[in-house]
Amino acid sequence: MYIIICGPTALGKSEAAVILAEKTGGEVVSADSMQVYRGMDIGTSKITTAESRGIKHHMIDIADPSENFTVARYKKGAEEALDSIKAAGKTAIMAGGTGLYINSVIRGLMEAAEPSPELRLKLRKEQEDRGTEYMADMLKEKDPEAAGLVDLKNGRRVIRALELILANNMKLSELRQKTGGTAYNDRYIIFFLSAGREYIYARVNARVDKMMKNGLPEEAERLLENGVGETARHAIGYKELFEYIRAGKRGPLPADAVKKATRAYALRQLTWFKRYKDAVQVDMEKNSPLQAALFMEEAVKAALNEACGGGDDNGAA
């Protein structure tokens, strides 16, 4: 069995994971799509050596920002980390807020043909000429169910969905039916750290202020100088600063824009993780990371006892 700690940004997942690892003799597998990149430290709230308190973390600082790191690459590395942690007799704890990464492990990853360069170019040209709204309408026509699940204002996601549909000549729902067999083969217990919107907003705003004070603008400038790929270029916090730097640093730092984008992302995370009906919810307005970790420790013990007694499903409480 392995443990998953998920939830929106700024609620204390990393700290709770470290405490739980200390209590259970575990190691942490990060599930954050931007913490994989070296040099993207402040803007991703990457855990520091001091904060990790000697707990080994996997899937952090494993790629250069110039690389376009994929979900498939994450799944392979994360599952290898889970295997090695358990083989060493330790508790494996996956913690992070990137739903696609967590989903690739617990639900499987879609096995599909990739679009040809010609198809990619054609769709991007159409988007440039006609706009994202037109492409979203195309997605609605070709796969209404997929259109209901994709953020239609996110041009990259709309294009990606169309790429898969057209390259495989089938709907996304049909492709997803093939994914179950690729799920990581082990029981898990999943904890969803949550809070109310206003509480999350306040936490996000305070975190962004701290990032700006701790040198995020300078970090973004270094990254631009060294080169960033398409994925890293769109990371929240960095994207806004990259635009500010390219525009000649006119006016005040775009802290408000970063806060707005991060708040919107946190709400999308809440929506995503609410899909996991087997998740044990932990209210972070009422619990500190320490209290959350202690609660999770007891829940894990109960799940293991149930499993030893012949429990079924995935071990979630």
DSSP string, 223-237: HHHH---HHHHT-TT
In a domain, residue 316? The reply is no
* 99 shares a domain with 231: yes
* 214 shares a domain with 123: no
* 9 shares a domain with 52: yes
pLDDT along the chain (317 residues), means of 10: 98 98 98 98 98 98 96 96 98 97 93 90 96 96 93 93 94 82 95 98 98 98 96 96 96 96 97 96 98 98 82 43
* 196 shares a domain with 293: yes
φ and ψ of 116, to 5 deg: -70, 160
In a domain, residue 315? The reply is no
Among 156, 176, 196, the domain-final residue is 176
Among 176, 204, 220, the domain-final residue is 176
Run of H or E including 102: helix 99-106
In a domain, residue 288? The reply is yes
pLDDT of residue 308: 78
* 279 shares a domain with 229: yes
pTM, 2 dp: 0.82
Q: Give CA separation, 95 vs 78, 115, 189, 210, 287, in Å.
A: 11, 32, 12, 22, 17
* 222 shares a domain with 132: no
In whole angstroms, give the CA distance from residue 61 to residue 282.
29
Q: What is the CA radius of gyration of the chain?
A: 20
* 79 shares a domain with 26: yes
* 257 shares a domain with 282: yes
In a domain, residue 164? The reply is yes
pLDDT of residue 179: 79
* 172 shares a domain with 189: no
Domain total in the chain: 2
* 229 shares a domain with 88: yes
